[in-house]
Chain A
Amino acid sequence: MKRFQLKLAVAAAALAAVLGCASFPSADETRALGEQMVADAYPGMPAALTARAVQDADQKICSKLGGEKLTSIEAGRIVDAARATMKYPPGGKLAGDWKAGERLVSDGAGLRVREGRVEPVKQNGALCINCHALDPREVNSGNLGPALVGYGAQRGNSDAVVKYTYEKIYNAWAYYPCSNMPRLGAHGFLTPEQIADVVAYLVAPQSPVNRK
C-alpha cells in the first residue's frame, strides 16, 4: 500500500512538472518565506522604523487569507487583548472639545516615512474621513467604514454612548475583532485627549455631524 502511494505521489509530481504547475510551499514554509522577505524589504532603514513591519500577536491572528474565518477562540483573544489596552484621559473626561475634534477628523497626516525620515507634523491626524462620512457637507470622505452622519443625533450623548465611542476609537478591535479600523489609541497614533475631542465631534449636538 505504502509503495503504491509513493508511486502515485511520484506520478503526480511528474504530472505537475509536465503540466507546468510547480507544487506550492506549505503554510509554514510560506510564512517563513514571507517573513524573511519582510525582514529584507527595507534596506538601509533605521531599526526604529523597520520595527513597524514586525507583527504583534493580534495582527498575526488578523492576517487571514481570503475566505478564512476567525475562530471564536481567536475572536475572544482579540477582544480580551484589546480591552487590556484601554487607557482614558487623566480626569476621565471622555468627550472633549468638538471644534478641536473637527480639525482632527479630516487630517490624514502622521508617521509617514520618506527617505528614511518620519514626516514632521505637529500632531498626528485622526484619519476618520479617509474612511467615514461624518459632516454631510464634506464631499471628500471615504467609505471603508460605515457613514457616521448624524451619529450623535441618532444615538444621543449619554455616558454609555460616549464611553462606547471613546473605546471604539481607542481600540476598534474591542468591539469588532480584526476590524479594518486601525487601533488608533492602542498604537499611540492618537492620544487619549485627541480621541476625547473626536468623540465630542461625533456626539455634540452643535457639531456639523449632527446639525440638521
Chain B
Amino acid sequence: MFMTRGRLAALALAVVAAPSPAQNGPDGLAVGRQMLAEDNPGELWVERGQRLFFEKRGPKHASLERCDLGLGAGRVEGVFAQLPRYFADTDKVQDLESRLMTCMVTLQGFTTDEIVRKRFGTLDNDSDMEALVSFIGSKSNGMKMNVPLRHPKEAQAYKAGEYLFHRRSGPLDFSCATCHADEGKRIRLQDLPNMTDPAQVQAVVATGWPAYRGTQATVRTMQHRLYDCNWQMRLPDLGYASAMSIALTSYLNHRGNGGVVQLPGVRR
C-alpha cells in the first residue's frame, strides 16, 4: 500500500494537531505518592537546590535563572521529564547534569574542573550538583517522562546507548544487560531491576534518580548510579557527563517514557 503525498500531509497534520502528552497535570496516583514521599530526607536537597538555583553565585555573580534546560531560559517545570535532549548551543545531547554544568560554566563562571571535583558530595562537602538536580527533578513531579527522539543526534545517542547497554567488556565480561535484562535476579541480596521490562525501566528513570541513598546518607544522581555500576564492572572511573553516560541515560530515559515522575527517589 502506497500513501499519496496528500495523505501523508494529512496524516502529518493530524499528528501535529494532537495534544502533546508532555504537560499532563498530576494524577491521583502521583498525588498519593507525593504524600508518601513527604518524609523523604531528599526534600532537604530539594530545598537547598532551590536556594542555589536562584542565588547569585560564581565568579560572574549570576543565578541560574537564565539557564535553558530545554524548555526555555529559567524554566525548571517539566524539564527533567524531557531530558536528555539535543541543545543547539553546545551541539550536543545533554542530560540534566551536563546541561547544568554548561550553565554553571557559561552563566556563573565556574570551571568544569571544579564542578567535576565536587560532583559527588562527601560527609564534609555537600555537592551543589546533587542539590540542584534534586530541585529540578522534583519540578517534573506528576508529569510523564517524554524524552524526545527528534533530532538526529538524539536518535544517535539512543542507539549508541542501546549498543553500550549490551556491550560486554572488562575482566568480568559484564555488560549492563548481564545484571539488568532478566527477571527476578539478585546480586547477593540486591534486587536487580530488569530494564528490558517497560514498567521497571519507567520506575527506575521516573521515580529513581536523583535518589536519597540510605547507605550513603545523601542524595545521588543518575550519573553517580552509572559510575557505581561501572565500578562494579571493574572499569575505570566513568567520566562525569561523558558522552557514554549520557547515551546510556538517553536510552534508559526514552524507554521510560510514560512513567510518572516522582523525585527525589529513595534507594538503599
Partner-B contacts on A (CB < 8 A): 8, 11, 14-15, 18-25, 29-31, 33-34, 36-38, 40-43, 45-46, 49-50, 52-55, 59, 62-66, 108, 110-116, 127, 129-131, 139-144, 180, 182-184, 187-189
| Identity of the chain B residue whose Cβ is nearest the Cβ of A12 in the assembled complex | B8
Within B109-151, which residues are at the interface with A (CB < 8 Å)?
A: 148-151
Q: Would B171 and A63 count as touching, CB distance under 8 A?
A: no
Q: Would A40 and B156 count as touching, CB distance under 8 A?
A: no
Q: Which residues from chain B contact A22 at a C-beta distance below 8 Å?
A: 149-152, 154-155
Give the dominant DSSP class at B's interface. Answer: mixed
Q: Which of A40, A52, A115 has the most CB of B within 10 A?
A: A52
| Identity of the chain B residue whose Cβ is nearest the Cβ of A21 in the assembled complex | B149
Q: Which residues from chain B contact A113 at a C-beta distance below 8 Å?
A: 231, 234-237
- In the bound complex, how far is the Cα of B243 from the Cα of A21, in angstroms? 21
- In the bound complex, how far is the Cα of B4 from the Cα of A15, in angstroms? 12
Could you give, for residues 235-268 of chain B, a 1 whenever the CB lies within 8 Å of some chain A CB and a 0 otherwise?
A: 1111100111101000000000000000000000
CB < 8 Å neighbour of A23 from B16, B155, B177: B155
- In the bound complex, how far is the Cα of B216 from the Cα of A194, in angstroms? 33
Q: Would B149 and A141 count as touching, CB distance under 8 A?
A: no
Q: Is B200 interfacial (CB-CB < 8 Å)?
A: no
Q: How many residues of B contact A (CB 8 A)?
A: 59
Give the dominant DSSP class at A's interface. Answer: loop
Q: Would B247 and A34 count as touching, CB distance under 8 A?
A: yes
- In the bound complex, how far is the Cα of B2 from the Cα of A22, in angstroms? 21
Q: Which residues from chain B contact A142 at a C-beta distance below 8 Å?
A: 185-190
Q: Is B61 interfacial (CB-CB < 8 Å)?
A: no
Q: Would A21 and B150 count as touching, CB distance under 8 A?
A: yes
Q: Would B15 and A112 count as touching, CB distance under 8 A?
A: no
| Identity of the chain B residue whose Cβ is nearest the Cβ of A66 in the assembled complex | B196
**Least Cβ–Cβ distance between B172 and chain A, in angstroms:** 4
